[in-house]
C-alpha cells in the first residue's frame, strides 16, 4: 500500500538526487556544513573521540588535523566509540552470534553487521537508520540509470514497482546481506526484491521467471552467469546490472554488456559505510556520494594523492552514522580518482578504478630483502590471456606461488604464452630469478562459502605478512585454494 511513509521516502529520495547535478563547490559547502554538525556531536557523546581529539577545536579544525583511525583501534575501544551509551560490544557480539537475529534490529532500532575478517579482525558495525534510508534512496535515484527520475516516474514506480534480483550466497550479518534484510518498508512501494543463491540449481529458470529490471551480484557471480547467458531470457525487462563488493575487470564487463545489452554499474562501498558511491553508467568506476561521505586518497604517509594517481590507502569519513562514527578511517584500498568528467551527467567525484587492496600482496625474499608482489602483477599478465575465465595466486611457500587457472568452456591454456606473460611481469619487478611459479589448470575456482566473495590472492604463509593474514583452512578451502593444491 502506498502510504504516507512511502510519500515521505519518495520526497527524500528526490531531494537527495539534486547534489549530483550541482557545481562541485556547492557540494563541498554542503559537505562542510554536515561535517561541522557531525564532529561536535561525536566529540560530545563519544568518550573515545573526545579523548583522541583533546586540544582540537571540533567547530573550526580542518579535517586533516584529525589523526586517522583504524579497525583495530575502534574495535579495542568499541564501547567508548559509540555515541549511544546503551550499546556494548559484548551485547552486539552475542546478538550476531545468533543467526535468528539476522532479520531483527539490535535494541529494536539499529541494523548491525560485521565485515568478513578476510583482511584480519572482523569489524562490528552498528548502522544508523539514516544510513539505510540513504542507501536505498541513492540506489533508487542516483543508481537508477534506466529512467529519468522525477515526480512522474516516482508515481509510475509506485504503480509498477521495479524488480531487483539479488544473487547472494546466504542470509546473515555480512553488510550486503544485512542491508537487504533491513530495507526500509517504505522502499517496498517502489521495488520488489527477490533473493537468489548462486548455488541454486534452478537459478537460471528462476531469473527467467522473475524477469528482473535490475540484477545485483558479486563480480564473480556475474562472470559465472556469462557461461549461461544463452539460457537467460531477461530482455526487454532487464535495464541494468550492478556489480557489488568485488572489482569487475574490463573484459567481463564488456562481455556482460554484449550479452545483455544493458549498462553495467560498479558500486564501491564497504561494510563500515555502505553509501560510499553509486555506479556510473557511461564511464568506468563509481561516483562518490560526497555530500554524505568524505573520501581521502592518500599515500603511505597520509599525504593527499592527486586524481589520476594511485593512492596507497583511503581515509573514510561517514557523515550519516553518528551512532558509530568512522572519521578518517583507514581502508586498505588502492584507488585512482578520475581527472575528467564522465558522460552520465553526474558531477560528483568519480573513482575511475580500484587497483585492489594494499593487503593484496605477497612478501617474498629477494637478494636478502623483503619485496612485495602486488596482485596487479598477475592481473596484468592474464589480461593478455583471453581464454582464461578466472585465476588465483596462492603463496604456498615464501618464494613459491601456485597460479591456479580456470579456462573458459572448450578452451585450452597456452602454457608457453602464460609462462611468458607471467615471467615478463616478474622481470618488470626484478624478482624473476627468486620467485618460483607453478601454474596449474583447475576445473573450477570457488568463492568463499560464507561471504560469497572470491579472493584472487591467498597466502598460506602463516606469519601474517602476506595477503589473507588469517589462513584458516575452512576459509581458504572455500576459496578453492586448499582443495586445488592436492
pLDDT greater than 80 at residue 323:
yes
Q: Which of 130, 81, 72 is nearest to 324 (CA)?
A: 81
Say how far residue 157 (Cα) sits from the centre of its chain. Answer: 27
- Sort 34 into a burial class: Cβ within 10 Å, 0-12 / 13-18 / 19+: middle
Which pLDDT value is given to residue 464?
Answer: 39
Q: Do 31 and 137 share a domain, yes or no? A: yes
Judgement on whether residues 254 and 346 belong to the same structural domain of the protein: yes
Beta bridge partners of 317: 294
Highest mean pLDDT among 34-48, 432-446, 453-467: 34-48
Residue ending a domain, choose from 355, 382, 398: 355
Q: Which CATH number fits the domain that encloses residue 149?
A: 3.40.50.12780
Whether residues 387 and 334 fall in one domain? no
- Judged against a pLDDT cut of 80, whether residue 14 lies above it is answered with yes
Mean pLDDT on 300-327: 96
The predicted-structure confidence for 64-106, as pLDDT tens digits, reads as follows: 999 999 998 999 999 999 999 999 999 999 998 888 898 899 9
Pairing relation of β-strands 240-244 and 264-267?
Answer: parallel
Q: Same domain, yes or no, for 315 and 257?
A: yes
Kindly report which listed range (50-54, 230-234, 362-366) carries the lowest average pLDDT score.
362-366
Do 32 and 150 belong together in one domain? yes
Q: Specify whether 217 is located in the same domain as 165.
A: yes
347 and 384 in a common domain? no
Q: What would you measure as the largest C-alpha separation in the chain, in angstroms? A: 70
Predicted confidence (pLDDT) per residue in 41-74, tens digit: 999 999 999 999 999 999 999 999 999 999 989 9
Highest mean pLDDT among 87-91, 149-153, 224-228: 87-91
Round to the nearest angstrom and report the end-to-end CA distance of the chain: 56
pTM of the full structure: 0.76
Same domain, 228 and 327: yes
Return the pLDDT at 356: 66
**Do strands 400-407 and 388-397 pair parallel, antiparallel, or not at all (unpaired)?**
antiparallel
Model confidence at 246: pLDDT above 80: no
Q: Is the pLDDT of residue 445 over 70?
A: yes
Domain end position, chosen among 355, 390, 412: 355
pLDDT of 386 > 80? The answer is no
**Same-domain status, 365 and 336:** no
Residues 166 and 108 in one domain: yes
Q: Are residues 265 and 122 in the same domain?
A: yes
Calpha distance 68→328 (Å, rounded):
5
Examine the domain organization and report whether 92 and 202 are in the same domain: yes
Number of structural domains found in the chain: 2
Predicted pLDDT at 374: 66
Is residue 196 classed as helix, strand or coil in its secondary structure? strand
Tell me the residue range of the domain where 220 lies: 4-355
Three-state SS string across 63-123, please?
Answer: HHHCCCECHHHHHHCHHHHCCCCCCCHHHHHHHHCCHHHHHCCECCCECEEECCCCCCCCC
pLDDT score of 146 more than 70: no
pLDDT band at 228 (very low <50, low <70, confident <90, very high): confident
Nearest one of 459, 427, 433 to 365, comparing CA atoms: 433
Cα angle: 424, vertex 427, 431; to 5 degrees: 135
Cα(211)–Cα(235) distance, rounded to whole angstroms? 8
Residue 14 has a CB neighbour count (10 Å cut-off) of 17
Amino acid at each position: 500500500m502506498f502510504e504516507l511513509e512511502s510519500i515521505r521516502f519518495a520526497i527524500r529520495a528526490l531531494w537527495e538526487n539534486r547534489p549530483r547535478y550541482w557545481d562541485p563547490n556547492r557540494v563541498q559547502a554542503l559537505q562542510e556544513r554536515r561535517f561541522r554538525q557531525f564532529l561536535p556531536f561525536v566529540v560530545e557523546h563519544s568518550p573515545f573521540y573526545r579523548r583522541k581529539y583533546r586540544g582540537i577545536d571540533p567547530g573550526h579544525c580542518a579535517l586533516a588535523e584529525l589523526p586517522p583511525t583504524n579497525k583495530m583501534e575502534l574495535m579495542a575501544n568499541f564501547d567508548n566509540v559509540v555515541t549511544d551509551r546503551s550499546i556494548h560490544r559484548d551485547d552486539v557480539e552475542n546478538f550476531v552470534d545468533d543467526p535468528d537475529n539476522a532479520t531483527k534490529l539490535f535494541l529494536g532500532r539499529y541494523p548491525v553487521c560485521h565485515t568478513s575478517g578476510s583482511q584480519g579482525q572482523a569489524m562490528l558495525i552498528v548502522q544508523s537508520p539514516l544510513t539505510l534510508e540513504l542507501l536505498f534512496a541513492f540506489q533508487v535515484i542516483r543508481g537508477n540509470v534506466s529512467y529519468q527520475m522525477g515526480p512522474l516516474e516516482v508515481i509510475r514506480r509506485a504503480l509498477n514497482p521495479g524488480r531487483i534480483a539479488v544473487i547472494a550466497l546466504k542470509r546473515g550479518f555480512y553488510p550486503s546481506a544485512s542491508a537487504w534484510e533491513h530495507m526500509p518498508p517504505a522502499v517496498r512501494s517502489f521495488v520488489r526484491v527477490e533473493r537468489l543463491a548462486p548455488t541454486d540449481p534452478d537459478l537460471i529458470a528462476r531469473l527467467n521467471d522473475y524477469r528482473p529490471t535490475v540484477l545485483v551480484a558479486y563480480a564473480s557471480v556475474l562472470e559465472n552467469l556469462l557461461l549461461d547467458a544463452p539460457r537467460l531470457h531477461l530482455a526487454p525487462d532487464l535495464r541494468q546490472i550492478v556489480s557489488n563488493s568485488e572489482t569487475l575487470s574490463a573484459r567481463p564487463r564488456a562481455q556482460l554488456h554484449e550479452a545483455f545489452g544493458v549498462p553495467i554499474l560498479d558500486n564501491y562501498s564497504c561494510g563500515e559505510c555502505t553509501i560510499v558511491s553509486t555506479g556510473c553508467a557511461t564511464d568506468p568506476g563509481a561516483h562518490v556520494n560526497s555530500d554524505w561521505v568524505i573520501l581521502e586518497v592518500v599515500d603511505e604517509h597520509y599525504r593527499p594523492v592527486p586524481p589520476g594517481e594511485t593512492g596507497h590507502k583511503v581515509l573514510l569519513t561517514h557523515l550519516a552514522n553518528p551512532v558509530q562514527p568512522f572519521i578518517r578511517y583507514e581502508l586498505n584500498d588502492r584507488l585512482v580518482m578520475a581527472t575528467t568528467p564522465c558522460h552520465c551527467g553526474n558531477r560528483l567525484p568519480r573513482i575511475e578504478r580500484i587497483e585492489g587492496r594494499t593487503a593484496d600482496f605477497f612478501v617474498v625474499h629477494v637478494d636478502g630483502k623483503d619485496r612485495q608482489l602486488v596482485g596487479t602483477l598477475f592481473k596484468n599478465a592474464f589480461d593478455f590471456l583471453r581464454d582464461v575465465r578466472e585465476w588465483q595466486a596462492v603463496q604456498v611457500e615464501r618464494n613459491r606461488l601456485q597460479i591456479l587457472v580456470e579456462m573458459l568452456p572448450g578452451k585450452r591454456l597456452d602454457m608457453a604464452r602464460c609462462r611468458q606473460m607471467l615471467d615478463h611481469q616478474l622481470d618488470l619487478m626484478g624478482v624473476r630469478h627468486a620467485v618460483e611459479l607453478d601454474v596449474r589448470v583447475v576445473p573450477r575456482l570457488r568463492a568463499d562459502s560464507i561471504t560469497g566473495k572470491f579472493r584472487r590472492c591467498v597466502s598460506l604463509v602463516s606469519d601474517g605478512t602476506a595477503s589473507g593474514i588469517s589462513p584458516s583452512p575452512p576459509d581458504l578451502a572455500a576459496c578453492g585454494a586448499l582443495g586445488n593444491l592436492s
